[in-house]
Structure 1
Amino acid sequence: MIHRKTRWALAEWEESGEGAAEKLSKGLSLPPLVARLLVQRGYRDEESARTFLYGDESGLHDPYLLSGMKEAVERIRLAGVRQEKIRIYGDYDADGVSSTSLLVHVFRSMGLNFDYYIPHRALEGYGLNEKAIALAASEGVTLIVTVDTGISAYDEIEYAKTHGIDVVITDHHEPPDRLPQASAVVNPKQGHCSYPFKGLAGVGVAFKLATALMERPPLEWADIVSLGTIADLMPLVDENRILVRYGLQRMRKEPGMGFRALAEATGIELPTIVSTGIAFGMAPRINAAGRLDHAKRAVELLTTPEYDEAILIAIQLDTLNKERQRIVETIVKEAEEQWLTKRLASEDQGIDPPSVIVLSGEGWNVGVIGIVASKLLERHYRPVIILGIDAETGKCKGSARSIEGFDLHAALTECEALMDHYGGHQAAAGMTLHRDHLESLEQRMSQLAKQWLTGEDWIPKTHVDIECGLEDATLDTITQLSLLEPFGIGNRSPRILFQSIQLADRRAIGKESKHLKLSLGGGRKLLDAIGFGMGEMASSMPAGSRLDIVGELSINEWNNQRKPQLQLHDLHYMPTPLSSFPSREQFGQVYQWLRGVKRAPEQGLTMRIAGQVSLTVEAVQLMLDVFEELKFIGRHDGAYVAATAPEKRELASSERYRAAKEQHDRLHDLA
């Protein structure tokens, strides 16, 4: 028996959806599975589906629909006329770096007098600060344009005014109740802003400003926009989908100098890059600059026109990322040791371990603790808070990650008396507090988790898009699934459920047999499936059994051949009890047949033997497992091979035989 590791949440399917899917399939010449997925995601008519699949720059909204855009453009253009010195003020993450880099290109093309500034993560922290403003004033800056930051900087804006500096804010974070009194505030999430799409990244808002300034969408820099949008986990729908699609196309065909250098330094294949290549290949290296050094290095990469400079920076960022990985591994190891100690202490006291993991350490790099929190969340599936402690002051800076159903921001609000500062949302948050309050924070957060969560909430959930059959898993269908790309937040790669699908064959593959390869289906129609890290399951399910499987459809290309493939996420197998346990004579009959053929290919063998000797495939698989355990047969190059001179052993000496016999007898007695 193999139990599913997660809760499967199959999206609801209304009967009316079938008719809508049929119309889409015919009207847009789409495979039925693709049409059903479109309906499932809310695109029920041809117009909306066509816009989603093929939307271009005509689908981008008028930037002047953003409140404050007119004032922002007028103030920047006035600065250009006056030759004022402008400073772009960004953030140190990939979205902030992308936003800053985009405006560097735009202001450069406009011939403005400008420079840029990004605060140091460890020394200055997030957002506008008074020292940076005073520095700008001393250097003759009269206009600051923020990107990906500024919406909460009320006091800092007032301070800038005392130094004769105007500020234009462009941001996408949640606005506070009291908005800064800046020259212009551009943020689609402002309550009074009627902009039709609220999901822009910081770089997306900067792109709208650029569009207004240049009086056209500057799609030549869509690659930079796609980087920040994907890295900041923005929903890939509406404008984001259009911008990321253009950005990926540009990376594949005409990548900017920085992207060319980064790809060369890291082995990323730009001609075939997809959104995951940005998310897991490029974004971590861009972020590494701000985590371990200074984010200006990443801006230099994305704005330099010189190849020699770009490749040097790309190599430096790749090296920083490797160092970041090493630091993360070290902190994860120390954190796991702390967590084990806490769990053992709880066991000694006869109590449950904390429901929320709160771990801290002196010297833990605050630039990577969010990554550490994510890794522990993945391993233990409970809310996690990781904090770095300043040994001199006792101040702790923390990052938190949560499971579905536990609202971190709401929980931290309940604990606000313990903290100096906090912010975030349901799934992720940050905070600062003194180390003396850590124990109280752990206790209170754990109490809230116990109050708010049910037993089921502690089990990871897999969201399944749709159920389909083997007939849907064709090369043409899988190829056209790419029309739904780019995949990411808000538009994930479809997760498909196959129920009660027959297992034709299974085996462990790869180094140390770590991975699982399945052949699914009956007859001539088969679908290969690969489960990474699932190799130990191969011996737990006999060929011919029925499985429930969740995975993602893809195409496996090998030796110029293209075949459908399913990448496994989770599976469930419940063995079918033998209705009739095979007799010793039947065991002997099958064994003699195997000795006669000498070499029997595994593919389809159980069904072949079952048909010849009138047994179920489960019974035949039991026999093969018993023979293999007793070393009567072995496996070599995908085939069963009878031993030349096997040692004489009784069937009952096989553990597999005894277990199956006991299960059969017990069920027979109950009947």
Structure 2
Amino acid sequence: MLQSQYRWRIAEPDRYVSDELARELQVSPLLASLLANRGVDTPELARSFLHGRDESLHDPFLLLGMEKAIPRIREALERKEHILIYGDYDADGVSSTALMIHLMKRLGASYDIYIPHRSNEGYGLHNHALDWAHQQGVSLAITVDTGISAVEQIAYASALGMDVIVTDHHEPPAVLPEAYALINPKLPGCPYPFKGLAGVGVALKLAQAILGEVPAEWFEIAAIGTVADLMPLHDENRTIVRRGIESMRASAFPGIESLLQISGVDMAAVSSVNIAFALAPRINASGRLDHAGRAVALLTTEDAEEADKLAHELDLLNKERQQVVNDIVHQAVDMLEAKMNGSGLPPVIVLAGEGWNVGVVGIVASKLLERYYRPTIILDMDPETGNCKGSARSIPGLDIYEALTDCKELMHHFGGHPSAAGMSLHRDELELFEQSLHRFATARLLPEHFVPVAEADAECRLGELNVSVAEQLELMQPFGMANPSPRLVLRKLQLREARKMGKEKNHLKLVLEQDGSTLDVVAFGRGELADFLQPGSLVDVLGELSINEWNGKRSLQLMLQDIQITASQVFDFRGEANPVALIERYIRIFHQASADQAPVAALVHSTSPFRKAGSLNDGRIWVYDKTGGILPENDSAGLMLKDTVRTVFLLDPPETKEQFNALWMTFRRVENIVVMHSINGYQGRLEAPDREQFKRIYVLLKKMGPGPLDEKTMLPALSRQCSISMRMMSKVLEVFEELGFVHRAGGELSFVPNPPKKELTASHRFHELNETAEMERYLLDAETSQLASWMMSRLKGAS
């Protein structure tokens, strides 16, 4: 049995709506149901959604503040005022700044740009930057992707004689800055019909308001910021990103072309997924580890040689960023486990460390959220000043922006969205900050909020899928927030093959079959699972359908997101050279053990080689009882609830059927059995009782005389003569003793001259020997499939 990592929540389409869409659009029932599930529930909406229309580009003057801002910008152009473009250091801010540079160049404006350094200055407007702008003669500042919370800074700019036009998309605070104009679709009273624009989307609307129509290639830049900032890809964003991708496939920007090449992306097939996982991380790396100006230069240069140079620099920065993230994640995990000291996970994880690069703490927070599924805040602490700057990531059940608002008096600054936010505070406030967040979260989060959910669009059978259906699903592109790549659930597929792939063998390839159809399944980073997937198993999978093209052949492929096996399993690792490492790997894969839930597994053996086995010191270790049954060998085993055991590791085979049966009577809810005992050099093999063999042994005993005979001397000699183990010989003598053929006492054996006539089958020990020999034959000699079938039949019999 393999538990899924997530609880699968499968959408239920309106059958009437989906049937009508399939009929009217002449598309597959699967595509029709996906459209219906996403609110695209009429043929007219579906045609627009699938094939695109420009009417979803709304009038920019519907944005509150636009009618006031545009005349002020035109006045600045006419009077040749010096304009400041003030941006942000993430990919959205970089894209917004780059778009405004292109606009300023087209307008022939006199301008400067300013993007704060993430580590040295932090988010938002800063008075020292406004002082610098004032010295440069700036009289009009236009913010992009920032400014909606800068009440004091904008008041300072006004005191310097500068007008400020704010373009932003973040949540507006209760008190708004007194800027010359505020442009944000989320402002109270703003009639703009779509509230989901990115910062670059708002900048694009400003450009549209000034120019009437913007160059087609500018949508490339707008698409990058929109996808990178995880904005919902519906309504106007869908049009922005779709038009941006179309232009990007023959990009007019040397920087975008170079970045696609260095990322290994085929320009002709670029997609929103490539933007999210290839372009955005490299652009973000500039602002995380260096200064975002380098990324702005990439998106605005007209020189191909400079573009190549900048693209290589961003690629190297991204690799460095990945290593920095890994290092901090390890430190954060150690800090959290030490902080908990055996207790459960807190409702909100708050960790602060010195020397943690503030540019990557958001990524680290995401990594910890993925690992522990708790809202997480990671902060970098300045050892000299005590100031902490951090980022938060949250789960769907907790609005982290609302949680921060609840304790705003403890912070210098904060801002963000329901799922992600940034903040700064002093270390002296950290304890109260954490306590406040815990109280807030405890009052709102229920147990079900801590169970990760994977949304699935449909459940289908393999026979319903083919390349043509996959091609139709591609019409739903671009994929991203609010329009994710469709996820499908397929159940009871038979596993034909499981193997590792990739240079480092860290990826997984499966071949599944159902109703005569086969499907290739790929899972990146899950190569270890191949060792625990047995051909013939029935598996359920959740994944994203794609088309694999190889040597001109197009075939169906599923990108695996989650997998489960609902039947119990027997894993054959007999003769495993490093059982401790195997146990640790199994627990990591199967039990997904978090810090507040110990793995529900038990180790059973006949000796004690694992007492000092590293991380298994606290393992639930049981030992076979010589009188039959099993006993706890350590406190962890003695205190455990036996019904919580889901996996039993057999480090040694049982010696008797009583011991074997005791396993399943003790662990009644076991799901998986991992067999790990040695099969070579096993001492004392038993054999199925053979009448001729018993007759021969009886004759040899009779020749030795009436006795008494010393068993220590007799047994080895008799064992050699009959070519059987001493253990087997001892079992034979037990049968003879029970039948009255011999008498045994004090280590001596006497032959009974005229024993009663009895059949061997009259002996209870004869039948026990037969059953134990059969047990050993399966445990030591059987093929994997035979071993699994035999053990599962015994397990069902015991339950």
TM-score between the two structures when normalised by the length of structure 1:
0.84
SS in 2 for 1:219: coil
1:6 to 2:135 alignment: no
Residues 160, 576 of structure 1: alpha-carbon distance in 2 compared, 3 angstrom cutoff: closer
Instruction: Judge conservation of contact 1:387–1:398 (CA < 8 Å) in 2.
Output: yes
Offset, 1:144: 1.0
SS in 1 for 2:153: helix
Per-residue Cα deviation, 1:531-564 (whole angstroms, up to 9, x for no partner): 3344454565554543322111111222221111
1:505 to 2:632 alignment: no
1:227 to 2:224 alignment: yes
Residues 567, 185 of structure 1: alpha-carbon distance in 2 compared, 3 angstrom cutoff: same
* Structure 2 partner of 1:531: 523
Residues 368, 207 of structure 1: alpha-carbon distance in 2 compared, 3 angstrom cutoff: same
Amino acid at match of 1:378: E
Structure 2: gaps spanning 5 or more residues: 571-673, 681-773
Output the CA distance in 1 between the equivalents of 2:231 and 2:174. Answer: 23
Per-residue Cα deviation, 1:432-463 (whole angstroms, up to 9, x for no partner): 22223333433443454444333332222111
Of the three residues 488, 504, 510, the one matched with 1:518 is 510
Output the CA distance in 1 between the equivalents of 2:528 and 2:102. Answer: 53
Offset, 1:244: 0.6
SS in 2 for 1:521: strand
Output the CA distance in 1 between the equivalents of 2:386 and 2:798. Answer: 67
Output the CA distance in 2 between the equivalents of 1:178 and 1:567. Answer: 46
Instruction: Judge conservation of contact 1:257–1:305 (CA < 8 Å) in 2.
Output: yes
SS in 2 for 1:312: helix
Output the CA distance in 2 between the equivalents of 1:235 and 1:292. Answer: 28
Per-residue Cα deviation, 1:313-359 (whole angstroms, up to 9, x for no partner): 2222222222222222222222222223224xx22xxx434343222
Instruction: Judge conservation of contact 1:354–1:442 (CA < 8 Å) in 2.
Output: no
Structure 1: gaps spanning 5 or more residues: 579-624, 632-647
* Structure 1 partner of 2:266: 269
Offset, 1:6: 0.9
1:304 to 2:301 alignment: yes
SS in 1 for 2:296: helix
Residues 539, 202 of structure 1: alpha-carbon distance in 2 compared, 3 angstrom cutoff: closer
* Structure 2 partner of 1:135: 132
* Structure 2 partner of 1:254: 251
Instruction: Judge conservation of contact 1:504–1:522 (CA < 8 Å) in 2.
Output: no
Of the three residues 423, 438, 447, the one matched with 2:415 is 423
Instruction: Judge conservation of contact 1:508–1:514 (CA < 8 Å) in 2.
Output: no
Instruction: Judge conservation of contact 2:217–2:248 (CA < 8 Å) in 1.
Output: no
Offset, 1:488: 0.4
Offset, 1:62: 1.0
Residues 662, 278 of structure 1: alpha-carbon distance in 2 compared, 3 angstrom cutoff: closer
Q: For residues 603-614 of structure 1, what are the structure 2 equivalents within 5 Å? A: none
1:106 to 2:98 alignment: no
Offset, 1:59: 2.7
Instruction: Judge conservation of contact 1:506–1:538 (CA < 8 Å) in 2.
Output: no
* Structure 1 partner of 2:427: 435
* Structure 2 partner of 1:588: none
TM-score between the two structures when normalised by the length of structure 2:
0.71
* Structure 2 partner of 1:381: 373
Q: How many residues are treated as equivalent by the alignment?
A: 597
Amino acid at match of 1:509: K
Residues 123, 577 of structure 1: alpha-carbon distance in 2 compared, 3 angstrom cutoff: closer
* Structure 2 partner of 1:586: none
* Structure 1 partner of 2:701: none
Output the CA distance in 1 between the equivalents of 2:527 and 2:86. Answer: 50
Instruction: Judge conservation of contact 1:506–1:516 (CA < 8 Å) in 2.
Output: no
Of residues 651-660 and 427-436 in structure 1, the stretch that sits farther from structure 2 once superposed is 651-660
Of the three residues 643, 650, 670, the one matched with 2:777 is 650
SS in 1 for 2:249: helix
Output the CA distance in 1 between the equivalents of 2:23 and 2:344. Answer: 57
Of the three residues 123, 129, 152, the one matched with 2:149 is 152
* Structure 2 partner of 1:661: 790
Offset, 1:420: 3.2
Offset, 1:186: 1.3
Residues 153, 444 of structure 1: alpha-carbon distance in 2 compared, 3 angstrom cutoff: closer
Residues 179, 409 of structure 1: alpha-carbon distance in 2 compared, 3 angstrom cutoff: closer
Q: For residues 495-644 of structure 1, what are the structure 2 equivalents within 5 Å? A: 495-499=487-491, 501-510=492-501, 514-538=506-530, 540=532, 543-575=535-567
Residues 504, 323 of structure 1: alpha-carbon distance in 2 compared, 3 angstrom cutoff: closer
SS in 1 for 2:197: coil
Amino acid at match of 2:778: L
1:177 to 2:162 alignment: no
Q: What is the percent sequence identity of the aligned residues?
A: 49
Output the CA distance in 2 between the equivalents of 1:292 and 1:664. Answer: 59
SS in 2 for 1:234: coil
Residues 207, 5 of structure 1: alpha-carbon distance in 2 compared, 3 angstrom cutoff: same
SS in 2 for 1:457: helix
Instruction: Judge conservation of contact 1:141–1:165 (CA < 8 Å) in 2.
Output: yes
Output the CA distance in 1 between the equivalents of 2:788 and 2:512. Answer: 27
Per-residue Cα deviation, 1:146-185 (whole angstroms, up to 9, x for no partner): 1111222222222222222112221111122332222222
SS in 2 for 1:44: coil
* Structure 2 partner of 1:611: none
* Structure 2 partner of 1:209: 206
Residues 354, 183 of structure 1: alpha-carbon distance in 2 compared, 3 angstrom cutoff: closer
Per-residue Cα deviation, 1:107-136 (whole angstroms, up to 9, x for no partner): 211212222221222232222222222221
* Structure 2 partner of 1:26: 23
Runs of 4+ with >6 A deviation: none
Output the CA distance in 2 between the equivalents of 1:438 and 1:179. Answer: 27
Output the CA distance in 2 between the equivalents of 1:451 and 1:185. Answer: 35
